[in-house]
Structure 1
Amino acid sequence: MDWVQSEPVLLYLAVSAAFAGSALHKSIKNKVKAGRSGVCWLLLSLLIMATFSFFLLSGGAGLSVFIVSCITCYISIPVNDLLPAEDKAVLITGCDSGLGHALAKHLDELGVLVFASVLDKEGQGAEDLRRICSSRLAVIQLDVTNSEEIKAACSEIKSRLQGLWGVVHNAGVMGYVADGELLPITVYKQCMDVNFIGAAHITKVFLPLLRKAKGRLVSISSMAGHTPIPGLAAYAASKAALTMYCAVMRQDLFKWGVKVAAIHPSGFRTNIFGSRENWSSQSQSFLDSLMPDVKEDYGEEYLETFKDLHREMVATSSSDLTPVLEDVCHALLARKPHFSYAPGRFAHFIPCLFRYFPLWVYDHFARQIFKNRRNILPRSLRRSQTTTNSRS
């Protein structure tokens, strides 16, 4: 154990302790949500840097590299430097319920002038916002697929403001969850119209106001927008389009001083799943739309598994929307916002698994996502498998 007592090792330990303490202090001061995964990554990074520097580089050179690496990591810890919220005006789409509803309340509490757009201005969600929030908040009728309502909403906001600080594209639909071949084309069209075309249309109409304020364009995309998840062909394709749209708009709007951010949450319990009754109704419509030969190939047992997905998705989703709300607020109010945010459990791990590991590793993981469908094959595949086994 003499090597433990050697001077270089003691220096490495001293630098490590100083770095860990400083990083922890900065994280607590700026309310950085590290969590277990963040702590693990910090410790792992520290171990890798120390091992590389100590064993692969000699003497002072290794220690210098290690110190520089620690300083770089420390600088990369985000600083919670926020702009004042009281003089900001923000439009949020899809505020009838779920995340948009919660975000409208949260920003209103911070002092933001919120324009909460809803599908039904006389509905329960709109009424709750009027009753709970301050008099600053304005409820606006806005269907993101309706050109006339988009123009009317813009005229209403223009009559009150010279510039608009932020637009948050929150309105979204998932449609039904099933194999891509089985989804009705209407589901693909609805997802694209609401999740992508609607966001692009609103951006185009409201950009003159955003450019005047040199404000923020924030889109609630999804982890499925850059990571393939079985059963979400329509939803994921629309969110992938939205994600790439944000990436290009970030470049296009940079010269105007408008900052663009995309939020990629993992599973959160919002109204995007719809009610169980609505899911059952969609399930029946979905079954009725299938061609007889397709229905025969997949079989009733396989098709029945989709009916239970609503309960499973709701059960495995987090009801605490705080991580998403905090990231949207950071994107809107931070002096130096990020382009991409990933709130929620496994929001970093799953995309990392898809991008950096062999594809068979991710494929194996993806097959485990929906428990009740893991071991059920379509009827035609079961027959082929039975025939092959009997011949062997």
Structure 2
Amino acid sequence: MELVQCDSALLYVVLSALFTGLVIHKLIRNKVKIENAAVSCLLSLLLLEIICCSVLCGCLGLTLFIVACALYYISIPVRRMMTTQDKAVLITGLWGIVNNAGVLGYMADGELLPISVYKQCMDVNFIGVVQVTKMFMPLLRKAKGRLVTISSMAGHTPISGFAAYAASKAALSMFSAVMRQDLFKWGVKVSAIHPSGFKTNIFGSREHWSSQDQNILDNIMPEVKEDYGVEYLASLKDLHYTMSTFTSPDLSPVLEDVCHALLAREPYYSYTPGRCAYLIPCLFRYFPLWVYDIFAKQTFQIHRNILPRSLQISESNNKID
């Protein structure tokens, strides 16, 4: 019995080594970019191998593992770009639109943000994109070109302090998803890019944040100001620096994905450039909500050590009782 189990484990090791070699060869030959999605699938295959080897019987487990490996190998995305002949349309008409304009507004609790910040984010991040897209769509349809929209990871992942920005990006992501279906019959390919944090001018300057902070203080209701407290409100001014430290100055992953969306034979619908841009949304969608809440509290919590004044008083009273 032990000899059979040993032979079975050895067979899994041999198959894993063979599969790994084939995958590496295909990745190198086609210059495939290693993305978070590919890493997640490989980890899933490793977990499946352990289950097949230890739980399922010999033939059934082995067959399931081989089929899973074959499906993964076939599904490895190969970035085949268009030939020079295919690009002739670039000279004769409008081939692609890249919607990239965006504003962050201000980072604060959703209750504290003025309506003007919500309106600004929706006007620039969503309405502006719709207007530009509608204006040039006749030319794009004639060329059977590409519509590329820069959305955000925040468009499908809740992040504390980003109520206005995330709402506008969520609307933008859904607009892109619907346009993909609407334009399919015209031969226009639609792609949405959901980057994680990158260092751009969207964060504004310290002067901008100071003026926005004053705007909140001028428009906040007295009872709300009393509940949150001066210390909590004053901490908002430091978020500009805090959030910028989590961003990457290297924009090449975003630019590479934009280029692929415009020029690849079969562009992807969704791109996730940047650190954890794929894994974090998966954590939110497929894990229990409390798991994501714990992760978000540690990763995105913009007021880790500061509570609103009313909550501080409540905690103090509870300790005394």
What is the TM-score with the length of structure 2 in the denominator?
Answer: 0.91
2:289 aligns to what? 359
Segment of structure 1 superposing worse, 48-57 or 161-170: 48-57
The equivalent position to 1:252 in structure 2, one of 146, 158, 182, is 182
- Structure 2 vs 1, CA of residues 42 and 354 (structure 1 numbering), >3 Å: closer, same or farther? closer
After TM superposition, the structure 1 stretch with the greater mean CA deviation from structure 2, 240-249 or 351-360, is 351-360
Q: Which residue of 1 aligns with 2:15?
A: 15
* Whole-angstrom CA distance in 2 between matches of 1:85 and 1:170: 26
**Alignment partner for residue 217 of structure 1, among 147, 158, 181?**
147
SS for the counterpart of 1:346 is coil
Q: Does the CA contact (< 8 Å) of 2:160 and 2:302 recur in 1?
A: no
In the superposition, relative to structure 1, how do residues 84 and 283 fare at CA in structure 2: closer, same or farther (>3 Å)?
farther
Structure 2 CA distance for aligned equivalents of residues 89 and 319 of structure 1: 34
Separation (CA, whole Å) in 2 of partners of 1:205 and 1:273: 28
Structural mapping, 1:286-297, within 5 Å:
286-297=216-227
Compute the displacement of 1:52 (Å). Answer: 3.9
Q: Equivalent of 2:126, from 176, 196, 219?
A: 196
Aligned to 2:308: 378
Q: By how many angstroms is 1:55 displaced? A: 4.3
Return the alpha-carbon distance in structure 1 between the equivalents of residues 183 and 191 of structure 2.
12
CA distance in 2: counterparts of 1:317 and 1:183, whole angstroms: 23
| 2:75 equivalent to 1:76 | yes
Shift of the 237–45 alpha-carbon distance from structure 1 to 2, 3 Å rule, reads same
Instruction: Give secondary structure in 2 for the equivalent of 1:367.
Output: helix
Contact 1:16 1:46 in 2 (8 A): no
Q: Do the aligned partners of residues 359 and 58 (structure 1) sit closer, same or farther apart at CA in structure 2, a change above 3 Å counting? A: closer
Instruction: Output one character per residue of 1:205-257: Cα deviation in whole Å (capped at 9) or x when no partner.
Output: 11111101111111100011001101110000000000001111111110001
Q: Distance in 1 between matches of 2:177 and 2:194?
A: 13
Cα contact 2:110–2:164 (8 A) shared by 1: yes
Instruction: Report if aligned partners of 2:104, 2:203 keep a CA contact under 8 Å in 1.
Output: yes
| 1:341 paired residue among 271, 281, 298 | 271
* Contact 1:84/1:333, CA 8 A, preserved across alignment: no
Q: Measure, in 2, the Cα distance between the counterparts of 1:85 and 1:211.
A: 21
1:43-82 to 2 correspondences below 5 Å: 43-82=42-81
Q: Map of 1:144-293 to 2, 5 A cutoff?
A: 163-293=93-223
How many Å separate the matches in 1 of 2:154 and 2:185?
30
Counterpart contact for 1:353–1:362, Cα < 8 Å: yes
- Distance (Å, rounded) in 1 between the aligned partners of 2:5 and 2:211: 68
Pick closer, same or farther for the CA change 1:13–1:299 going to 2, 3 Å: same
Deviations, residues 44-87 of structure 1 (Å, cap 9, x unaligned):
23323323443454444433332222111111111120114797
Q: Does the residue aligned with 2:77 lie in a helix, a strand or coil?
A: coil
Aligned pairs (5 A) from 1:83-98: 83-84=82-83
State the Cα deviation string for residues 330-376 of structure 1 (Å, max 9, x = none).
Answer: 11111111111111111122112211222222222222335661121
- The one-letter code sitting in structure 2 at the alignment partner of 1:26 is K
CA distance in 1: counterparts of 2:45 and 2:71, whole angstroms: 12
Which residue of the partner structure matches residue 24 of structure 2? 24
Measured after TM superposition, the shift of residue 39 of structure 1 is 7.3
C-alpha RMSD over aligned residues: 2.3
Aligned residues of 1:196 and 1:241 also touching (Cα < 8 A): yes
Quickly say closer, same or farther: Cα 1:46–1:369, change in 2 above 3 A. Answer: closer
Q: Is the 8 A contact 2:159 2:300 kept in 1?
A: no
Worse-matched range after superposition: 75-84 or 57-66: 57-66
Number of aligned pairs?
320
Q: What SS is found at the alignment partner of 1:14?
A: helix
Is 2:161–2:302's contact at 8 Å kept on the other side of the alignment? Answer: no
Q: Which has the higher contact order (CA 8 A, sep 6+)?
A: 2
In structure 2, the partner of 1:33 is: 33
Q: Which runs of 5+ in 2 are unaligned?
A: none
- Contact kept, 8 Å, 1:312 with 1:370, in 2: the verdict is no
In structure 1, C-alpha distance between the alignment counterparts of 2:84 and 2:229, rounded to whole Å: 55
Amino acid at match of 1:218: V
Matched, 1:303 2:258: no
Contact 1:172 1:194 in 2 (8 A): yes
Q: Structure 1 residues 383, 5: closer, same or farther in 2, change over 3 A?
A: closer
Q: In the TM superposition, what whole-angstrom CA distance separates every residue of 1:110-130 from its partner, at most 9, and x where no partner exists?
A: xxx7xxxxxxxxxxxxxxxxx
Using the alignment, how far apart are the partners of 2:310 and 2:88 within structure 1? Answer: 56
Q: Tell me if the contact between 2:95 and 2:146 (Cα under 8 Å) persists in the aligned partners.
A: yes
Check whether the contact 1:89–1:164 (CA below 8 A) recurs between aligned residues. Answer: no
After TM superposition, the structure 1 stretch with the greater mean CA deviation from structure 2, 365-374 or 200-209, is 365-374
